[in-house]
Amino acid sequence: MTDDLSIDPDYLDEKNKENIEDYICCICQFLPNPETAIEEENCGHIFCQICIDNWLKKNNLCPFCKGKIIKRNIKNKNKMIYRQIINFIVLCSEKNCNWKGTIKEYENHLKNQHNIKQISNDNFELFKYYKATCHIHPLKYFDTSIDNGWSCDCCKCFSGITNFEQTKNMKRFRCVECDFDLCLLCMNNYYDRNYIIANDSSTASKKNYLLNMKYHSSVHKHPLIFLDKTRDNGWGCDGRNLGKKCFSGITGFHQSFNIPRFRCEQCDFDLCENCMNNYNYDKYELNKFYQTNIHQHKLIFLGKTRDNGWGCDGRKFKDGCLSGITGFWQTIGFDRFRCEACDFDLCRSCMEHYSFQ
């Protein structure tokens, strides 16, 4: 297991959820990686190693009982707790996967079945961009190179940061456009594996896109799915037939090798990334309200900024969810429309279907 593998308790099998509070990290409320989990010797409280290390940079008292912390590794010093945790049954958190097994087996499953390697502290490259599910834009990794009293903007910081002047020597991810910052532990927990950063240069493209997600252009009536470079079959950009021609210079077929692709299967219509950047359009504005014919209140457009396992309530209507969402924890990367008063959510496909029929 990698040092940062922690488990959201919601993904534990039901029979393991009883008394789970005795095993979760007192700081981040996740089940810690048993290989590196830390137990406080006096009070018995358990922590992820990275959680307690960050906490100790500013406070040497237990965040729960306020006693002086004496650390000991669970694997070496408390074999009973270690064996209990590694044998907990966990459900796979990946979309549409029904795998279930022990925590001991979980990382091998992610690697072998989903080709996923857990993010570790050493994987982040200085001044490169990374995407978190809790923020709409990519964040630039500054490490500790800009230490000006910043604060982590996560609604519940996994490092326990509550205000400024607590981040000395802490690693930083920053969105300059929004004045938004995340600490390393929050980035580890919210890192978006489904997001493709096409180019690390901040001026290379106007927008970063999610693989297999739908985007709108001003030159086509249907949304286009971002395929990136996964289907390179000699396609030609249809921007060449528009007034300004293709912005990548494509004039026919078999000229699009290694060029990101946006496609409408219904119309056999394709745009290259440069054309999509120039013709990009979204009729919805963040934090604006929109009306549907299936809900009494207007819904606020949140985009992808609040991805907390919500489920589209369109699944409860006759046609079901138009994005195929059948429950919670299936909406990573989906645009969200929400009524806070009723705890009611719709995905973009359902919003469009019920707004215009």
Domain closes at, from 98, 114, 130: 114
Q: What's the pTM? A: 0.40
- pLDDT above 50 (res 106): yes
List, in order, residues 6 or more apart from 310 with CB less than 8 Å away: 328, 331, 336, 338, 345
Tell me the helices (H) and strands (E) count for the chain, helix number first: 7, 19
**Residue 119: band (very low, low, confident or very high) from pLDDT cuts 50, 70, 90:** very low
d(CA 299, CA 310): 15
Percent of the chain exceeding pLDDT 70 equals 89
Q: Are residues 36 and 97 in the same domain?
A: yes
Q: Are residues 22 and 87 in the same domain?
A: yes
pLDDT tens, position by position, 38-96:
898 888 888 888 778 777 877 788 877 888 888 888 888 888 888 888 888 988 877 67
Please check whether residue 3 lies inside any domain of the structure: no
Q: Are residues 75 and 22 in the same domain?
A: yes
Q: Are residues 58 and 92 in the same domain?
A: yes
Please check whether residue 53 lies inside any domain of the structure: yes
What pLDDT, on a 0 to 100 scale, did the predictor assign at position 345? 95
Q: Are residues 96 and 130 in the same domain?
A: no
Host domain of residue 266: 209-279
What pLDDT, on a 0 to 100 scale, did the predictor assign at position 201? 38
- Contact criterion met (CB below 8 Å) for 262 and 219: no
- Give me the CATH number covering residue 65: 3.30.40.10
Q: Are residues 270 and 305 in the same domain?
A: no
What pLDDT, on a 0 to 100 scale, did the predictor assign at position 1? 40
- pLDDT above 90 (res 324): no
Q: Are residues 46 and 105 in the same domain?
A: yes
Q: Which of 286, 261, 295, 265 is nearest to 276 (CA)?
A: 261
What pLDDT, on a 0 to 100 scale, did the predictor assign at position 357? 44
Please check whether residue 204 lies inside any domain of the structure: no
- pLDDT above 70 (res 217): yes
Q: Are residues 99 and 44 in the same domain?
A: yes
* Mean pLDDT across the chain: 81
Q: Are residues 314 and 234 in the same domain?
A: no
- C-alpha distance from residue 249 to each of 228, 268, 271 (Å): 18, 20, 12
Please check whether residue 1 lies inside any domain of the structure: no
Domain closes at, from 193, 223, 251: 193
Q: Are residues 128 and 161 in the same domain?
A: yes
pLDDT tens, position by position, 247-286:
888 998 988 888 889 999 889 999 998 888 888 767 787 7
- Contact criterion met (CB below 8 Å) for 316 and 294: no
DSSP β-ladder status, 129-130 and 71-73: unpaired
Please check whether residue 46 lies inside any domain of the structure: yes
Our count of domains for the chain comes to 4
Please check whether residue 198 lies inside any domain of the structure: no
Q: Are residues 312 and 342 in the same domain?
A: yes
Q: Are residues 187 and 246 in the same domain?
A: no
Please check whether residue 311 lies inside any domain of the structure: yes
- Contact criterion met (CB below 8 Å) for 146 and 176: no
